[in-house]
């Protein structure tokens, strides 16, 4: 039994994003809530800057929802840093029960799934999901410090400097409803090129999407948008191909937060954006308002994560990936029944 779980009476009450300079200069720049001009956010190290972004994102989300942290029953949060210090340090001053997550770049979706399941089932009234990434922390941890100026592969993605925070609660007060969640299984198809995360993650996204369509008897045309977290141009293309092979054409409704966040023409990020903050910031500030106003009505949001470490790649292992699906709907879609 690995079913998509249909949820009642839960949705995203409020959300906020914080991004860096490159993201602010991208095509979605005007949508983000806060940005920093030097990516430091007043801190003396990149790691502390990333933690500060998590704090700012959750603070801003709460402020937008006119909520105090006492309104939260739990926080689900994580990031890419060793021992997830972005979340632990950034959120330590919120006096709220804390569940640390590690879902690599799928963390925003993982947190939303857990928050939504527990709210929908009445265990919690409101819970937050927070995720972040920072280009400068990720580069020096996964590859090499930026100062080295290492050449990047054409399939490499650009880690987004960004954080997103969401408050999940009752559907009555929500900007968008969370109608179903489908957690992914770990999928590993033999990709061991750490400069090609898209290829490693695409099979996981395909597995989750195919399972969702099969179990809910839906087709791509039932949705306005099918959006993955950070497959980028390389992985997004592979995903569409993998779906096509299974007889499911998603190209006309498909997009990827990593493709949306940077301009391919004016910002040379190679294969697009990546990182926990990529999908978190794009959903929080660009997609959610569109669901709230009804210009998007049915969205499949699929967080994608590659769960290797530099060390295990050096030891010759492949890259396992996971893709978590959150089915979002505008309030106007209340009568829509998934089966």
Where along the sequence are the contacts to a second copy (CB under 8 A)?
1-3, 5, 44-45, 47-48, 70, 73-74, 78, 80-85, 88-89, 91-92, 94-104, 110, 114, 117-118, 121-123, 125, 182-188, 305, 307-312, 315, 317, 320, 322
Q: How distant, in Å, are the alpha carbons of 93, 166, 237 from that of 17?
A: 19, 9, 27
Q: 132, 57 in Cβ contact below 8 A?
A: yes
Q: How far is the CB of 150 from a second copy (least distance, A)?
A: 20
Q: 69, 108 in Cβ contact below 8 A?
A: no
Burial of 172 per CB tally in 10 Å (0-12, 13-18, 19+): exposed
Comparing C-alpha atoms, which of 276, 206, 188, 201 is closest to residue 233?
201
| Of 121 and 264, CB closest to a second copy | 121
Q: How far is the CB of 53 from a second copy (least distance, A)?
A: 15
| Of 87 and 292, CB closest to a second copy | 87
| Of 280 and 308, CB closest to a second copy | 308
Comparing C-alpha atoms, which of 131, 111, 105 is closest to residue 303?
105
Q: How far is the CB of 141 from a second copy (least distance, A)?
A: 8
First vs last C-alpha separation in the chain = 16
| Of 140 and 331, CB closest to a second copy | 140
| Of 219 and 312, CB closest to a second copy | 312
Burial of 122 per CB tally in 10 Å (0-12, 13-18, 19+): exposed
**In sequence order, what DSSP letters do the residues of 46-81 get, joined into one string?**
HHHHHHHHHHHHHHHHHHHTT--GGG-SEEEEEESS
| Of 72 and 260, CB closest to a second copy | 72
Q: How far is the CB of 315 from a second copy (least distance, A)?
A: 5
| Of 94 and 166, CB closest to a second copy | 94
Q: How far is the CB of 282 from a second copy (least distance, A)?
A: 21
Q: 126, 67 in Cβ contact below 8 A?
A: yes
Q: How far is the CB of 328 from a second copy (least distance, A)?
A: 19
Q: How far is the CB of 47 from a second copy (least distance, A)?
A: 6
- CA distance linking residue 143 with residue 217, whole number of Å: 42
| Of 225 and 318, CB closest to a second copy | 318
Question: Which CB contacts under 8 angstroms, 24+ apart, belong to 311-318?
Answer: 313/192, 313/194, 316/192, 317/192, 318/188, 318/189, 318/190, 318/191, 318/192, 318/200
- CA distance linking residue 75 with residue 216, whole number of Å: 29
Q: How far is the CB of 65 from a second copy (least distance, A)?
A: 16
Q: How far is the CB of 43 from a second copy (least distance, A)?
A: 10
| Of 45 and 244, CB closest to a second copy | 45
Burial of 88 per CB tally in 10 Å (0-12, 13-18, 19+): middle
Q: 81, 141 in Cβ contact below 8 A?
A: yes
């Amino acid at each position: 039994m690995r079913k998509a779980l249909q949820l009642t009476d839960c949705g995203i009450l409020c959300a906020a994003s914080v991004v860096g300079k490159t993201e602010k200069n991208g095509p979605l720049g005007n949508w983000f809530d806060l940005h920093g001009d030097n990516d430091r956010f007043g801190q003396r190290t990149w790691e502390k800057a990333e933690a500060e972004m998590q704090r700012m994102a959750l603070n801003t989300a709460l402020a937008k929802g006119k909520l105090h942290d006492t309104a939260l029953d739990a926080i689900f949060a994580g990031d890419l840093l060793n021992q997830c210090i972005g979340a632990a340090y950034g959120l330590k001053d919120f006096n709220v029960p804390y569940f640390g997550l590690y879902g690599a770049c799928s963390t925003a979706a993982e947190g939303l799934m857990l928050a939504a399941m527990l709210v929908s089932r009445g265990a919690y009234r409101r819970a937050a999901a927070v995720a972040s990434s920072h280009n400068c922390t990720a580069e020096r941890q996964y590859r090499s410090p930026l100062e080295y100026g290492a050449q990047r592969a054409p399939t490499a993605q650009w880690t987004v400097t960004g954080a997103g925070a969401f408050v999940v609660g009752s559907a009555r007060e929500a900007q968008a409803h969370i109608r179903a969640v489908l957690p992914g299984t770990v999928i590993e198809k033999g990709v061991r090129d750490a400069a090609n995360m898209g290829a490693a993650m695409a099979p996981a996204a395909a597995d989750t999407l195919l399972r969702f369509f099969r179990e809910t008897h839906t087709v791509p045309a039932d949705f306005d948008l099918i959006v993955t977290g950070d497959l980028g141009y390389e992985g997004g293309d592979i995903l569409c191909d993998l779906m096509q092979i299974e007889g499911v054409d998603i190209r006309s409704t498909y997009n990827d937060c990593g493709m949306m966040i940077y301009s391919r023409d004016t910002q040379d990020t190679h294969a697009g954006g990546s990182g926990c903050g990529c999908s978190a910031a794009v959903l929080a500030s660009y997609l959610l308002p569109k669901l709230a106003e009804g210009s998007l009505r049915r969205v499949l949001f699929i967080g994608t994560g590659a769960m290797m470490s530099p060390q295990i790649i050096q030891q010759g292992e492949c890259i396992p990936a996971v893709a978590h699906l959150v089915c979002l709907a505008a309030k106007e879609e209340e009568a829509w029944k998934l089966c």
